[in-house]
Amino acid sequence: MSITPVGQAAVPHLHRAARIEDAIHQLVARRLRRTGWQVTTLAYTGYGGPGWVRVMGRVLLGRPDARQRQKQEKVRGWRSFTTLPAKHAPVVIEAGRVRHETTTDRSGFVDAVVKADLPPGWGSVRITATDAEPVDAPVRVLDPQVRFGILSDIDDTVMVTALPRPLLAAWNTFVLDEHARAAVPGMAVLYERLANAHPGAPVFYLSTGAWNVAPTLTRFLSRHLYPAGPLLLTDWGPTNDRWFRSGREHKRATLARLAREFPETKWLLVGDDGQHDPEIYREFAAAHPENVAGIAIRRLSPTQAVLAGGLPGPADGAEHSSGPAGQKWLSAPDGAGLWRLLRDAGLV
């Protein structure tokens, strides 16, 4: 049975920054293993369709008590970064009754599309890395009869983070207790109403945040009663061919991928006007009008817009507009306002 690993294609030459990072990781990893650090596996929520699933996880070298720390009620953001990737580690994925073999990439990630015959709805696959305990990864298999989905940004759309202002971003990511993070008013209720109005509709969360904070984000979403769904995050640091990853390109590539994987699905794209969501969504709607049901933008207050690194929008900004292919664009400051507009627009 073959698998398609993502992001593991061979490259003739690694970028200088990636080579430096690899050398440092290799040196540190040897020393940490001697002090008792162990291999552990984190399973991320995957997704799929009839006959296939995308399995995501990460194999790391961490402190022996790292798993217990993750179970604590209060977790500081910086603890998520006190690990090292287990590079090129052998991994076995068990989906149904079939075993698939792969390896982690240079950042310790497992990101593979595997053949699997799982029924629609929630299921699980098992990820087993050498010298680590097996973990079960939840997967959301989309029903081919469901043609509506919700794709949501995270920062300042469902959670107040005041990104990308550097000092505030660092504080929110590395220092702030996850219980102190604030939810955007009304957004959890909005998503629950949308899920009820469209039975079986999946909810995906797309962000430029690092995979290191995926457990924190998952707990936050659950605590504030957001519908469960896959997180589509990225990795910080050097890539194979550049110093840093591009958050905007990550979002563009992910949207294009979902259009290929689910060509019959129309997505309600939800974001905010503090960063680049309107621009990215407009580009996607122009390129894939058949995959966009509508676009809902949370309008930040003047203070929030400044903290997010942008400029305040007009106080009397339009609530309705049309996209490049006639899609409905809706804008409101919170979930309650967006629900009213979505209902009036016939999207629920």
Write phi, then psi, for 10 (nearest 5 degrees). -70, 140
Domain identity same for 156 and 88: no
The enclosing H or E element of 102 equals strand 98-103
Q: What CATH number corresponds to the domain at position 247?
A: 3.40.50.1000
Domain identity same for 131 and 170: no
Strand partners, 234: 210
Single residue among 121, 141, 161 that ends a domain in this structure: 141
Give the position of tokens 């009663």.
Answer: 225
Domain identity same for 189 and 331: yes
Strand partners, 101: 92
Domain identity same for 135 and 189: no
Indicate the angle between helix axes 335-344 and 187-197, nearest 10 degrees.
Answer: 30
Domain identity same for 232 and 340: yes
User: Taking the mean position of all CA atoms in its chain, how far away is CA 41?
Assistant: 18
Domain identity same for 44 and 155: no
pLDDT by residue for the chain (348 residues), tens only, comes to: 444 444 444 444 554 544 554 555 565 555 555 565 788 899 999 999 999 999 999 998 876 655 544 444 454 554 555 568 888 899 999 998 889 999 998 888 999 999 999 999 999 999 999 889 999 999 999 999 999 999 999 988 999 876 555 555 555 555 556 676 789 999 999 999 999 999 999 999 999 888 888 888 899 999 999 999 999 998 765 455 444 566 789 999 999 999 999 999 999 999 998 878 999 999 999 999 999 999 999 998 655 555 555 554 544 444 666 666 667 999 999 999 999 999 999 988
Domain identity same for 68 and 205: no
Angle CA(345)–CA(298)–CA(324) in degrees, nearest 5?
55
Bridging pattern class, strands 38-49 and 135-141: parallel
CA 250 – CA 228 distance, rounded (Å)? 22
Domain identity same for 257 and 330: yes
Domain identity same for 61 and 137: yes
CB under 8 A, 24+ apart: contacts of 220-224? 220/159, 220/178, 220/181, 220/183, 221/158, 223/179, 224/158, 224/183, 224/188
CA 70 – CA 191 distance, rounded (Å)? 27
The amino acid occupying position 88 is H
Say what the pTM is.
0.82
**What's the domain count of the chain?**
2
Enclosing domain of residue 117: 3-141
The enclosing H or E element of 253 equals helix 247-261
Single residue among 86, 111, 141 that ends a domain in this structure: 141
Single residue among 141, 167, 199 that ends a domain in this structure: 141
Q: Do 114 and 26 form a contact (C-beta atoms < 8 A)? A: no
Indicate the burial class of 183 (C-beta count within 10 angstroms; 0-12, 13-18, 19 or more).
Answer: middle
Domain identity same for 201 and 252: yes
Helix, strand, coil % in the chain, rounded to nearest 5: 30, 30, 35
Domain identity same for 134 and 81: yes
Indicate the angle between helix axes 247-261 and 277-287, nearest 10 degrees.
Answer: 30
Q: What CATH number corresponds to the domain at position 108?
A: 2.60.40.10
